[in-house]
Amino acid sequence: MNLPSHPHHQFSSVIIQTLLPGIKKYIPIWSRLQSGQLSVWTTIIEDTVTVPVEFTQFSASVNSGNVMLEWETSTETNNLGFEIERARLTDNSEINNMEFRLIGFVQGNGTTTNPNSYSFTDEELLSGVYQYRLKQIDYDGSFNYSGIVELNLIAINDFRLEQNYPNPFNPSTTISYQLPKAEFVTVKIFDTIGNEVKTIVKENKPAGVHEVNFDASQLSSGIYLYRIDAGTFHQSKKMLLVK
């Protein structure tokens, strides 16, 4: 733009600030002082910078035979949501050439600079090696892929009661057990003379690996027993509380 020559022309620098889409800011371009009157020319700048969906975490874990996917974003722009894709290693496929298939969708949060957490549960899986990825889709249909997480589901063929951990413990410990099929399960705590101290599980449980926390903060130091009853399976183990 050509401006008329004048001894009092003053040109200001333009500083563009990052704004949320749709926010307008008036920026002075130049000003002129003439006969004691200040004139300022401005322009309107509307932010059009696209901030991509930024993943800060994407993980997979197994809970009761199901796969729990969890991910977090730090920022999102025009985020319609996430398609969840899964691939399974078979006898006819290779680990680096597994075919991904759509298994679900989770709604996004549009445009935001706030952190957001998401989750998706994949249920009733056969044993095997699985890979998961997220397909993040914008409102205009464009998309990006996340990284890939991989896990190996091992078939559970028998009942098992694990040793509590930690052991010795103070004041709490975790008891794990596995079920090859759904059963009504009870897990009880006893003292060394057979008195029942507490029932910590009493409900139907699906096939898979389960954990329960036992808090012994109200008990005295000593040896205790924990016992599981699940259908025809019965087993007991010892644990040591040290205060």
Q: For residue 109, what pLDDT is reported?
A: 94
Strand partners of residue 78: none
Q: For residue 32, what pLDDT is reported?
A: 55
Q: For residue 95, what pLDDT is reported?
A: 56
Peptide bond just before 168 cis, omega within 30 deg? yes
What pLDDT, in 10s, does the model give residues 47-88? 444 546 888 889 988 876 688 999 999 999 999 999 999 998
Q: What is the pTM of this model?
A: 0.49
Q: Contact 128/89 with Cβ under 8 angstroms? A: yes
Q: For residue 35, what pLDDT is reported?
A: 59
In degrees and rounded to multiples of 5, residue 53 shows phi and psi of -70, 120
Given a cut of 70, the residues of the chain with pLDDT beneath it are: 1-52, 64-65, 90-97
Q: Where are the domains of the chain?
A: 9-46, 54-153, 160-241
- Are domains 54-153 and 160-241 of this chain identical in fold? yes
- Is the CATH number of domain 160-241 3.40.50.2000? no
Superfamily of domain 54-153: Immunoglobulins (2.60.40.10)
Q: Contact 133/145 with Cβ under 8 angstroms? A: yes
Instruction: Annotate the chain with DSSP letters as a single string.
Output: ------TTEEEPPP-PPP--TT-EEEEEEEEEEETTEEEEEEEEEE--PPPPPEEEEEEEEEETTEEEEEEEEEEEEEEEEEEEEEEE--TT--TTSPPPEEEEEEEEEEEESS-EEEEEEE-SPPSEEEEEEEEEEETTS-EEE---EEEEEPP--S-EEPPPBSSSBSSEEEEEEEESS-EEEEEEEE-TTS-EEEEEEEEEE-SEEEEEEEE-TTS-SEEEEEEEEETTEEEEEEEEE--
